[in-house]
A and B are shown apart, each in its own frame.
Chain A
Amino acid sequence: MDKQIPLDEVIAGLQDKYPEQLAVVEGSLQPAVRVKTEVFLKVMQDLKNEYGLDFLADLTAVDLGDEGFRGITHVMSWRPYRMLRVEVDTPRNQPRIPSLVDLWPAADVQEREAYDMFGIVYDGHPKLTRILLSDNFEGYPLRKDFQVASKR
């Protein structure tokens, strides 16, 4: 397939394919789509293999408070330069997101970092352990309800 499809066509194509599970994020500065957990891996596969957005620029997460966590993934290509943000929401009590390690080995360390900071479990990650913090660290520091020691 042609790898140089403009981004709006990519998003339109994805919307056709996953009408129920995928929505365009309105009012965002940069193009973004929000997908359901069950199709997240499929969407990423399509983006990588069919639409040529084959470079994982960044992977992280945001704490939304009571609504849970949002996994943020930026994929891109650079000829022409396109970047798309893919958001995936996961509940707070049991945060689980499919792992992208099989698609991009680059996701390995970044998912470990997100696990380290937010406690999000990436299903299918070969070795999901703490990476920056020590193994016996309690809690997940980037969660909003985490109490910093001096403020406890």
Chain B
Amino acid sequence: MSLAEDKFLRTEELTLNLGPQHPSTHGVYRAILTLDGEYVKGMENVIGYLHRGMEKLAEARTYTQFIPYPDRLDYASGMLNELGYVQAVEKLMGVEVPERAEYIRIIMAELQRMASHMVMLGSYALDLGGYTPWMYFFRDREKILDLFEMVSGGRMTLNYMRIGGVADDLPPEFLPRLKQFMAEMPASFEEYDNIVTGNEIFIARTKGVGVFKADQALAYGVTGPNLRAAGVDYDLRKAAPYGIYDRFEFDIPVFENGDCFDRFVIRIEEMKQSLRIIEQAIAALPDGPVKAKVPRVIKPPQGEVYHQIEGSKGCLGYYVVSDGSNKPYRLHIHGPSFINVGALPEMCMDLVLQDVIATIASIDFILGEVDR
């Protein structure tokens, strides 16, 4: 008999506001929790605090002017967001991107994926109370941001991709630094294992917590590492290779349980695969121009296209409608974080408050992409 059913001990449900100012909601996300004791009996998302009207802004910008904006969507993975956008426009225009630019894009995209995963892993550890691992992940992320700074001058808001290529060629000191970074990573992976993945408390807190099975995840439209942790080997880089992903050899890590632990470990595994891709890309990096000859004023022909790439958090889609002018008639951004947050109440049902925190951290959403 639960406490609530006991006639002599009357209990009441407690409504608790998680956020918008709360240390572990990663920004301005708010959840209204209904608690029975510490058990969650109801959860309602309140989002939109960071809404900037990206899609409306796009309608008043030219295609080129909009390139910096995707950086501000999921601000932990700017390169990937830009890549999705420029590839959508290129698809609409039928632009051929030079070989070298394609390879540079792959290197940047995979570096960005690693950086984004590091943010997630670090803040996940932090949300479980592990302060030290957080710094370990961010130490390594810093190296990636340094690399980005070399090529684009920015660290998080990069503005590096261009329609038809990339903004600039790699500076000469870039490749040595990248190789040095890649040589350092195996030792870091070992450190991650020692301090987080192998920790008894961490395993006890994440194994079997916040389970989201494959059929549930598919119904809720969850994609990316969160879906693969539930056992579906769906990765757009393999399923529908965009760019030149079909030229690389890599595996898609798939786990089975779909719990918080799997969602953590799968990202470490994905980082290892990203390293493999980067290694091959460096080896095959050709010489040549980094930008295709595109008109100064981008005017895609009338039409529409939906282009999706495998972002760091799931399928990132851009739906571009062109009316033949130099500004998009309509630009819709399908942010994976938005969908993942939508599935959150279902995941958190009947968990205790502490597990809710772990689950929120484990699905890795960025409010910039949720609210757009």
Contacts and interface: CB of A to CB of B under 8 A. Distances in A.
Interface of A: 27-30, 54-58, 60, 62-63, 72, 74, 78-79, 81, 83, 85, 104-106, 108-110, 113, 117, 130-134, 141-142, 146, 148
B334 A58 contact: yes
Nearest to A32: B304
Contacts of B315: 57
A143 B69 CA distance: 21
The main secondary structure of chain B at its interface with chain A is mixed
A60 B332 contact: yes
A74 B56 contact: no
Contacts of A29: 91-92, 303-305
B304 A133 contact: no
B303 A81 contact: no
A28 B304 contact: yes
Interface in B285-324: 303-306, 308, 315, 317, 319, 321
A58 B306 contact: yes
Given A74-B306, A85-B306, A56 B221 contact: yes
A60 B308 CA distance: 14
B126 to A, nearest CB: 27
B47 interface: yes
B244 interface: no
30 contacts: A27-B303, A28-B303, A29-B303, A54-B218, A55-B221, A58-B306, A58-B317, A60-B334, A62-B329, A72-B319, A72-B332, A78-B236, A79-B239, A81-B240, A85-B306, A104-B220, A105-B221, A106-B219, A106-B220, A106-B339, A106-B342, A108-B342, A110-B338, A110-B339, A130-B48, A131-B47, A132-B371, A133-B51, A141-B56, A142-B55
A55 B55 CA distance: 24
Contact of B342 (A30, A74, A109, A146): A109
B306 A132 contact: no
B371 A30 contact: no
Contacts of B30: none
B339 A109 contact: yes
Contact of B221 (A62, A104, A148): A104
Interface residues of B, number: 38
Given A29-B92, A30-B306, A81-B239, 18 more contacts: A27-B303, A30-B305, A54-B218, A56-B221, A57-B306, A57-B308, A60-B334, A74-B317, A74-B319, A81-B240, A105-B343, A105-B346, A106-B343, A109-B338, A109-B342, A117-B55, A132-B372, A133-B51
Interface in B32-58: 47-48, 51, 53, 55-56
Interface string B57-97: 00000000000000000000000000000000001100000
Nearest to A127: B44
A148 B53 CA distance: 11
A150 B372 CA distance: 20
Contacts of A55: 218, 221
B272 interface: no
B234 interface: yes
B56 A148 contact: yes
